[in-house]
Amino acid sequence: MKYLIGIDIGTTGTKSALFDSEGNLIADSYKESTLYYPKPGWVEQNPEDFYTSACETVRDIITKSGINPKDVAALSLDGQMAGIMGIDNDWNAVTHYDSWLDTRCKKYVEYIKQNFEDKVLKMAGLPSTVAHCAKLLWWKNEQPEVFKKVSKFIQPAAYVAGKFAGLSGKEAFIDYTYLHFSGLYDASTTQWSEELCSEFDIPMEKLPEIVEPWKVVGTMTEKAARDCGLTAGVAIAAGTGDQAAGFLGAGLVEPGMVVDVAGTASVFACCVDEFKPDLKYKTLLFPKAASKGLWFPHAYIGGGGLCLRWFRDGIVKPGKEEFDEIYKILDKEAADLPAGSDSLMFVPHLGGRNYPYNSDIRGTWTGFSWGHERKHFYKSMLEAIAYEYYYYLKIEKNLFPNVNFKEVRAIGGGSKSKVFNQIKANVLGIPYVQLSREEVGGLGSAIIAGYAVGIFNNMEETAKKFISTKNRIEPDMKLNEYYKNYAELYIDMFTTMAPFYKRLAEISAIEKP
């Protein structure tokens, strides 16, 4: 029996999963990550933590499984997508990881928005937001000496893959599922755009080689093999971004399929077979899928899941005896409340809105009175994420009027909540289904690894074979009609409150006496 490993270099942690060639999960392991907040709006991670956590979790799954390490045929890594880090010619980290949660580059986002948004949208499918191009401009202009030392800018998963394989800076790579976040490529050719790089004065030599997800970028070195508990020579596939890996693992390989990633970021995406950027609303990203010819227009709340964790840790503050069950307790309380949380509404953009981009927006509760309790505040948070999805779906239906969105496949930690899934089904008017397995990101990466070395002949058919759905939740269409009132009000609220958010940001920027 041959085995495959999928490694996810996530925002809050690294997870490794071991699968056999029949798609069975043999063992998995997770290690929490440390995020650093040196200044307001700044979020950093130490690149070496990505490598050590990957090694530790891989070593752990090999130990747990008891398999012979020689039977591991290949591995593939996926990871967080919108941030960047720099390496030198010897693959040493020159910068920290500039996280997708880090907004220090916001003035460059505004610069892009004011001058180049339509051009970038048409070519790369990226609305103005915190992503690679704005971050590159920050490093180039704010840290020019560091920028000069950088051979290539890459992402965390590529960094770990390169350390595993002993690559040099000249061999740096990026697979095409990340490219939309660059804002510097041409979707029609899947190549770096000389025109966009020239517009932004970004040296093309700082950009890595574009590859297909299943390209074998190298093999495990002796040192990396010792660190991971593997044998040298294991094939390493380029892999994909975390969302692309999760979508493949969830079996989203046909147009019209929809996915809700209820994780750190709350992502709502649909699968289509044509590139049709969101020029009207300037809200949806348009990334390539791992599968050729497919695309995943989507948007997300940067930290949707973090809102719930913040509420748990900062507001509810459960004791040790109820900590592990607190979300179930809150769900039960929320289930007894009427739709709309007795007219309490929440804005879930605690760190600014990503799509459409507005860094001034902050978290808001409005409409509360003396009769509201913690259960109202909690349910209003769940509903707010559903209202945001309603807005995304509205745009997707406008762009693709002939696509039938049949059901939403829910993945991520939040997908375990029946209450949350029911709220979203009611707001969207589309059935929600859970999947037969939770580890879809690792599975997607393992499928890519298997395809890279010839274990699987077809990624799409393999994904469909390995996944099935369960626990179908039908929407209550009467509640759907009722919820539309709140969802439309939610959309209007951003226009109405924009001057307030702008003024609040200006006041916050005044130096305190």
pLDDT tens, position by position, 497-510: 999 999 999 998 89
pLDDT of 80 over the 90 cut: yes
Q: What are phi and psi of 480, to 5 degrees?
A: -60, -45
Tokens 């790579």 belong to residue: 173
User: What are the respective helix, strand and coil percentages of the chain, to the nearest 5?
Assistant: 45, 20, 35
Q: What is the pLDDT of residues 360-369, one digit of tens each?
A: 999 999 999 9
Which of the four pLDDT bands, split at 50, 70 and 90, describes residue 201?
Answer: very high
Q: Rounded mean pLDDT of 404-418?
A: 91
Listed by start position, the domains of the chain span 3-251
What are the φ/ψ torsions at residue 101 (nearest 5 degrees)? -85, -10
Domain spanning 3-251, CATH architecture:
2-Layer Sandwich (3.30)
Q: How far is CA 28 from CA 4, 60, 158, in A?
A: 12, 8, 21
Produce one character per residue of 55-71: b if its CB has 16 or more CB atoms within 10 Å, e if not. bbbbbbbbeebebebee
Number of residues written out for the chain: 513
- What is the average pLDDT across 332-344? 96
C-alpha angle with apex 85: 84 to 88, nearest 5 degrees? 145
d(CA 306, CA 317): 15
Residue whose tokens read 């660059």: 182
Amino acid sitting at position 302 = G
pLDDT on residue 373: 96
Beta carbons of 110 and 121 less than 8 angstroms apart: no
Reported as a pLDDT band with limits 50, 70 and 90, residue 12 is confident
Pairing state of beta strands 72-79 and 235-241? parallel
Tokens of 362: 């902050």
The pLDDT of 439-464, averaged and rounded, is 96
CA distances for 306 relative to 186, 265, 302, 314, angstroms: 33, 7, 8, 11
pLDDT beyond 90 at 124: yes
Q: How confident is the model at residue 43 (pLDDT cuts 50, 70, 90)?
A: very high
CB atoms within 10 A of CB 319: 7
State mean pLDDT over 393-413. Answer: 92
Q: Which long-range contacts (CB under 8 A, 24 or more apart) does 273-279 make?
A: 275/125, 275/187, 275/188, 276/399, 276/400, 277/121, 277/122, 277/125, 277/187, 278/121, 278/125, 278/127, 278/395, 278/399, 279/118, 279/121, 279/122
Q: Identify the pLDDT of residue 248.
A: 95
Both tokens assigned to 380: 């209003």
C-alpha–C-alpha distance, residues 411 and 504, integer Å: 36
Confidence bin at 146 (pLDDT 50/70/90) = very high
- pLDDT average, residue stretch 486-490: 98
Residue that has been written with the tokens 């993945």 in this structure: 411
Could you read off the pLDDT of 155-187 as tens digits, one per residue?
Answer: 999 999 999 999 999 999 999 999 999 999 999
Enumerate the β-bridge partners of residue 15. 8, 30
Distance of alpha carbon 64 from alpha carbon 26, whole angstroms: 9
Residue 181 makes CB contacts below 8 A (sequence gap 6+) with 81, 82, 126, 131, 132, 241, 285, 287
| 439: pLDDT strictly greater than 90 | no
Q: And the tokens for 88? A: 């030198």
Closest by alpha carbon to 405, among 255, 263, 265?
A: 255
Q: Which residues pair with 103 in a beta bridge?
A: none
Q: Which tokens belong to 135?
A: 């971050």
362-364-368 Cα angle (round to 5): 175
Q: Which ranges in 318-455 belong to alpha helices (H)?
A: 326-335, 374-399, 418-428, 440-452
φ and ψ at 20, to 5 degrees? -90, 180
The kind and range of the H/E element at 365 are: strand 364-366
How far from each other are the two terminal CA atoms of the chain, in whole angstroms?
Answer: 68
Helices (H), 152-291: 156-165, 194-200, 222-228, 242-249
φ, ψ at 284 (rounded to 5°): -85, 135
Please give the pLDDT value at position 13.
93
> Contact at 8 Å (CB) between 211 and 217?
yes
pLDDT tops 90 at residue 512: no
pLDDT at 38: 94
- Average predicted confidence (pLDDT) for the chain: 95
CA 318 to CA 459: how far, in whole Å?
44
Q: Which residue has the tokens 């696509």?
A: 403
pLDDT at 357 over 90: no
Q: Prior bond to 69 cis, omega within 30? A: no
Contact status, residue 233 vs residue 430, Cβ threshold 8 Å: no
> Angle at which helices 326-335 and 374-399 pack, to 10 degrees?
80
pLDDT category at 351 given cuts 50, 70, 90 is confident
Query: How far is Cα 413 from Cα 474, in angstroms, rounded to an integer?
Result: 20
Residue 287 has pLDDT above 90, yes or no: yes
Contacts of 338 (CB under 8 A, 6+ apart): none
pLDDT over 90 at 321, yes or no? no
User: What local confidence, expressed as pLDDT, does residue 133 receive?
Assistant: 97
Helix (H) or strand (E) holding 152: strand 152-154
Helix axes 440-452, 242-249, angle to 10 degrees: 90
Q: How far apart are CA 498 and CA 432, in angstroms?
A: 33
Distance CA 375, CA 186 (A): 47
pLDDT, residue 298, reads: 93
Pairing of strands 25-32, 13-20: antiparallel
